[in-house]
A and B are shown apart, each in its own frame.
Chain A
Amino acid sequence: MAYSNYGGNDGGFTTTGAYGGGGGFTSFGGGTQVSGTQGTPGGKTQKSFTLRPVTIKQLNDAEQPIENDFRIDDVEVTHVTFIGQIRNISPQPTNILYKMDDGTGTIEVKQWINPEAEAPKNPELEEGRYARVTGALKPAGGKRFVAGTTLRLVTDMNEINYHFLEAVAVHLHYTRGPVDQFMAGGGARKAVTSGVDVAMGGMGGGGGSGASFAGLSRHAATVLQFIKNENNNEGVAVEQISVRTKLGLSEVLKAKDELVNEGRAFTTVDENHIAPMDYD
């Protein structure tokens, strides 16, 4: 019952997952990192740029310790994706306002209109139809709304159920830890690496378990673990990594290229220093 790749249209959000009838979750992949992630300057809190699948109730229940900062399961959240039925569409001068209902609650989605460009015509989006929304959760007075980046008509109704399964899986990931912690090694990893494989690194909160390194080669995982432990925002020199991990310099360089290409690490002061994209 594994399902694959939904939402090629909504910003590269990719999922893998399988729900075993009675056996609980066997695997899941989470939100892909949205572009624009930067190395965090020393000391500052990590800003979450992950795209999180949620229910509308989770958005309405999200804690808001300070303006513009929302947290779900005590994890900062900005970009979200959900599926709901369109209850109402009202065109405004600067935006189109959609009222969305997914059975867990309702929330307003604003899609801004660029007056320069032609109005975003999406005649398929009609009241009563299901749409996949991707956007950012924003405060508005005491209320909150989603600034919609994309709204896409749902044509395969299975996507609705898969979305809810995924929202639960991500919730459990944050509240109970990665799946690998509960599985006897092999099974979980096998499931994660089959088919459309998504690195789970963007999720944060991995806690150093195997799940954070899904999809990486053994050497790349070793190097990533090492530079995470070093916790040095200026980056770690490849020579130092080589000495400390007892990997040959050429292996370290290969691992470095892999980590940079996968978006898991970036080079810092020069091409020979790397730092991880996020710390667990």
Chain B
Amino acid sequence: MEATPRINASFLQQFENQTVIIVGKCIQVRGENALVEAGGNINVHLSPNGTCVPGNFVEIVGKVQPDMTVKSLLTTDWGTDVDMAAVDAVVDLTHRYKDLFY
């Protein structure tokens, strides 16, 4: 069974070709391309029914591509009231205490 670690922009390289979870702020959407801010900017290819509402936070389950973009498999709108400090803390701890997460 494969885990999908929670990451942000600074972990993209480390997780190339792996399925990950990213929570960030949706900055803009052009067609199926979205720009998401999560510890840095990440370009996301949205799946056909993917959601990314500019100004809202979004959770993306997706695969990190070799060009450091993310191909989304599943997106969930998290609304506007998201404590990004907690999101960053969870990403930090995920990789600090791997045994609990992946």
Q: Does A270 make an interface contact (CB < 8 A)?
A: no
- Which of B9-17, B33-41, B94-102 binds A? B94-102
Q: How far is the CA of A105 from the CA of B47 in the complex (A)?
A: 23
In chain A between 42 and 79, which residues have their CB closer than 8 angstroms to a CB of chain B?
A: 55, 57-58, 60-61
Beyond A161-B87, A168-B93, whether A57 also contacts B101 by CB under 8 A is yes
| B19 → A minimal CB distance (Å) | 10
Q: How far is the CA of A128 from the CA of B51 in the complex (A)?
A: 14
Q: Does A165 make an interface contact (CB < 8 A)?
A: yes
Q: How far is the CA of A3 from the CA of B93 in the complex (A)?
A: 18
Q: Once the chains bind, are A168 and B5 in contact (CB under 8 Å)?
A: no
Q: Once the chains bind, are B93 and A104 in contact (CB under 8 Å)?
A: no
Beyond A103-B4, A105-B3, A165-B86, whether A158 also contacts B93 by CB under 8 A is no
| A250 → B minimal CB distance (Å) | 46
Chain A residues lying within 8 Å of B100, measured Cβ to Cβ, are: 55, 57-58, 104, 167-168, 171
Q: How far is the CA of A60 from the CA of B86 in the complex (A)?
A: 25
Q: How far is the CA of A61 from the CA of B3 in the complex (A)?
A: 13
| B29 → A minimal CB distance (Å) | 20
Closest to B102 in A: A104
Q: Once the chains bind, are B93 and A103 in contact (CB under 8 Å)?
A: no
Total interface residues on B, CB under 8 Å, equals 28
Chain B residues lying within 8 Å of A58, measured Cβ to Cβ, are: 100
Q: Once the chains bind, are A168 and B97 in contact (CB under 8 Å)?
A: yes
Closest to B61 in A: A103
Closest to A162 in B: B86
Chain B residues lying within 8 Å of A105, measured Cβ to Cβ, are: 1, 3
Q: Once the chains bind, are A161 and B59 in contact (CB under 8 Å)?
A: no
Beyond A104-B101, A128-B76, A168-B100, whether A60 also contacts B1 by CB under 8 A is yes
Q: Does A41 make an interface contact (CB < 8 A)?
A: no
Chain A residues lying within 8 Å of B4, measured Cβ to Cβ, are: 103
- In the complex, per-residue mask of B48-82: 1 if CB is within 8 Å of any chain A CB, else 0: 00000000010100000000000000101011011
| B30 → A minimal CB distance (Å) | 25
Q: Once the chains bind, are A165 and B90 in contact (CB under 8 Å)?
A: yes
Q: Once the chains bind, are B83 and A164 in contact (CB under 8 Å)?
A: no
| A83 → B minimal CB distance (Å) | 12
| A131 → B minimal CB distance (Å) | 13
| A46 → B minimal CB distance (Å) | 24
Q: Does A184 make an interface contact (CB < 8 A)?
A: no
Q: Once the chains bind, are A161 and B83 in contact (CB under 8 Å)?
A: yes
Closest 7 CB pairs of A and B: A161-B86, A157-B78, A164-B90, A103-B4, A161-B90, A19-B89, A168-B93
Q: List 8 A-B contacts (CB under 8 A).
A: A1-B83, A19-B89, A57-B101, A103-B21, A104-B3, A105-B3, A106-B1, A158-B81
- Residue positions of B touching A, CB distance < 8 A: 1, 3-6, 21, 23, 57, 59, 74, 76, 78-79, 81-83, 85-87, 89-90, 93-94, 97, 99-102
- Residue positions of A touching B, CB distance < 8 A: 1, 3, 19, 21, 55, 57-58, 60-61, 103-106, 128, 156-158, 161-162, 164-165, 167-168, 171-172
Given contacts A158-B82, A167-B100, A168-B100, 19 further A-B contacts (CB under 8 A): A19-B85, A57-B99, A103-B3, A104-B3, A156-B81, A157-B57, A157-B59, A157-B78, A157-B82, A158-B83, A158-B86, A161-B23, A161-B86, A164-B94, A165-B86, A165-B89, A165-B93, A171-B100, A172-B97
